[in-house]
Amino acid sequence: MTYVLGISAYYHDSAAALIDDGYIIAAAQEERFTRIKQDSRFPSNAVEYVLAEAGIGLDQVDQIAFYDKPYLKFERLLETYHALIPKGLVSFWSAIPVWIREKLFLRQEITTSLKKIGTKIPQLYFPEHHLSHAASAFYPSPFDEAAILTIDGVGEWATTSLAYGKGNEITVLRELHFPHSVGLLYAAFTAYCGFRVNSGEYKLMGLAPYGQKNSERVKRWKELIYEHLIDLRSDGSLLMNQKYFDYATGLRMYNLKRWKQLFGIPPRKPETEISQEYMDMAIAVQEVTEDIVLRLVKTVIELTGCRNLVMAGGVALNCSANGFLLKQKIFDKLWIQPAAGDAGGSLGAALAIHHIVNGNKREIATNNIAKNITNNDQMQGAYLGPKFDSDDVTRMAKRHKAVYRTFNDREELCDVTSDLIADGNVVGWFQGRMEFGPRALGNRSILGDSRNPEMQKRLNLKIKYREGFRPFAPSVLETEIKNYFDIEVDSPYMLLVAPVVTELLNPLPERYGELPLYERLYFQRSQLPAITHVDYSARIQSVNESANPEYARLLRAFQKRHHCPVIVNTSFNVRGEPIVCTPDDAYRCFMRTEMDCLVIENILFRKNDQPHFNDKENWKKTFKLD
């Protein structure tokens, strides 16, 4: 056995992953244990978890890989400040002390943190940031060879990388370097529209469909982006006009004065009402981003001669851009790393050491490889985090003096839960191993009825406590996906947006696009209103029986009893908090929100002020069962 521990930390979304002879044993983000959103500190809890999952100590780990080269990043910082003197003096004086005090000595910092976990420290490796992303995309994929595209804000110098993977080798072909970055372009618009950089980009993506797609303003703003902000080339490379951006040396993403002059509106203040101008700005930059990504994909396919495509980096989490790419039919097969952001870099770093440094061959999942997108990869459905058994749950329930019922028959539990969902209840669903990455995929999820026209409003405002315009994703049985969504492939990791099929759509009123945001939002656009976004699209998760048998069992019960294999799936957390990890986390979230029911493993909870239901007759009455 050869154990390699991968670590990402010190910037945002720290994580740890452990592999054994190339097999992924476990992976988890530190935020899930500390309950601090996007925790950037050394992932001590995540490291201890992955070691415990393998049943080993740190002394049994052969190598440790950190997902970044800190000296290269420091070099970029110094060269950028030097090139732009005298600009950026304030930023320089705020950034450099942190580097001199901490980040320049990351090897020592990592070693000190590891000594708190074990006495023997294995050899440390530092693969480059984009190599870690590329490795996370290629090595777990179901392809023997693939074109590799990684796009994010910035690593050390690289912001976009085009590479070729074959067997156990990765060859980087081209790179785009800082300060020119698709990810930072999108982040600048995220900030201007009033959302937080590094966590609000998905909000901007969700806002874009409210923009008036073919309006004169959107067309003009796209022209302004191309003419003033970026110089986009046919191969997808770009130059960003630094007169309009401050992220290289300043304390904000954009140059406030120039952006106000260019677009004619001020930056939106966070938490204020969203006017149509910002919706139009969102769709303008979304369409520009899709254009850039499309050109990059064409280029990497042309360079590699390979029509299998794998992707990673933060921009790979832009589900709308991924769905747009899919429609272009310019590749044969696609696989996207579900933990595409920096957390996934921990896994990629470990895999890079295993395959590139150690020269180990890959094992590839080959079943159903002919499908365009397949769950037959090495990610195990992304279910790589901690799990808890019924005894853990019972002990938690007794500590909290909770009201619950234990089910010995899982089929009965799924029947009851499906009826609860159909009756309009919101159900917390906690099963098996926690997901790795930003998406809840049916093990740490909040569920609702996709057919309920009030469900989106209720989930946003009374359960998640977040902006009302945010859409929700559907989970659908893999065998039923084409009956409900206009997509030719599976989407196991909730990374593709596709239209709801025409047969389920309702006609729109005249001048629909001109209605206020919330009038558009709450109009019943389809027979599945809770998951149909304002542009008739949905961010889909297809559920595979072998990848998640328990979640598939629930969906089958909902289909059998209520004639629909589609339910709403959103992450089990509230705004500003990470997804729940433990039964305690889940119960506290359940009790603090207006969630109706909670299922943890084979135990179902209701609120203390609801009728007690331990005896069967009272149980039937409470849940309206025959």
pLDDT for res 572: 98
* 65-69, 112-116, 140-144, 463-467: least confidently modelled range: 463-467
pLDDT for res 94: 72
Task: Read off the pLDDT band of 625 (50, 70, 90).
Answer: very low
Q: Is the pLDDT of residue 552 over 80?
A: yes
Strands (E), 341-463: 403-406, 427-430, 444-449
| CA 279 vs CA 204, 322, 372, 491, 517: distances in Å | 8, 20, 33, 27, 9
Return the H-helix or E-strand segment holding 238: strand 238-240
Closest alpha carbon to 383 in 497, 551, 555, 539: 551
Q: Is the pLDDT of residue 370 over 50?
A: no
Q: How many C-beta atoms lie closer than 10 Å to residue 494's C-beta?
A: 26
More confident residue, 162 or 106: 162
Q: How many C-beta atoms lie closer than 10 Å to residue 401's C-beta?
A: 7
Helix (H, G, I), strand (E, B) or coil at 463: helix
The predicted-structure confidence for 390-423, as pLDDT tens digits, reads as follows 999 999 999 999 999 999 999 999 999 999 999 9
pLDDT for res 616: 46
The predicted-structure confidence for 118-170, as pLDDT tens digits, reads as follows 989 999 999 999 999 999 999 999 999 999 999 999 999 999 999 999 999 99
* Residue whose entry in the numeric block shows the structure tokens 């007794």: 398
Q: 435: which 2 tokens? A: 């997901």
The predicted-structure confidence for 558-567, as pLDDT tens digits, reads as follows 999 999 999 9
Whether residue 179 has a cis bond before it, omega within 30° of 0:
yes
pLDDT for res 445: 98
**Average model confidence (pLDDT) for the chain?**
92
CA 251 to chain centre: 26
* 99-103, 373-377, 447-451: least confidently modelled range: 373-377
Q: Is the pLDDT of residue 105 over 90?
A: no
pLDDT for res 506: 93
- Using CA atoms, how far apart are residues 242 and 80, in angstroms rounded to an integer? 12
Parallel, antiparallel or unpaired: strands 333-336 and 308-312:
parallel
- Using CA atoms, how far apart are residues 70 and 64, in angstroms rounded to an integer? 15
The predicted-structure confidence for 328-344, as pLDDT tens digits, reads as follows 999 999 999 999 999 99
Return the H-helix or E-strand segment holding 92: helix 89-101
pLDDT for res 374: 44
- Architecture of the 390-623 domain: Alpha-Beta Complex (3.90)
The predicted-structure confidence for 217-254, as pLDDT tens digits, reads as follows 999 999 999 999 999 999 999 999 999 999 988 778 99
- Using CA atoms, how far apart are residues 348 and 313, in angstroms rounded to an integer? 11
Q: 444: which 2 tokens? A: 């740490």
* 30-34, 95-99, 298-302, 417-421: least confidently modelled range: 95-99
- Using CA atoms, how far apart are residues 455 and 447, in angstroms rounded to an integer? 10
pLDDT for res 375: 58
Q: 560: which 2 tokens? A: 């059998």
Sign of CA dihedral 464, 467, 469, 470: negative
Provide the terminal-to-terminal Cα distance of the chain, rounded to the nearest Å: 54
Task: Read off the pLDDT band of 624 (50, 70, 90).
Answer: very low
Parallel, antiparallel or unpaired: strands 597-600 and 427-430:
parallel
pLDDT for res 465: 87
Q: 152: which 2 tokens? A: 């994010």
pLDDT > 70 in the chain, percent = 93
Task: Read off the pLDDT band of 626 (50, 70, 90).
Answer: very low
Q: Give the gyration radius of the chain's Cα atoms.
A: 24
Task: Label residue 294 left, alpha or beta by phi (over 0 means left) and psi (-120 to 50 means alpha).
Answer: alpha
Q: Is the pLDDT of residue 582 over 50?
A: yes
| CA 471 vs CA 111, 161, 359: distances in Å | 43, 31, 44
Task: Read off the pLDDT band of 517 (50, 70, 90).
Answer: confident
> With contact defined as beta carbons under 8 Å apart, do 442 and 492 qualify?
no
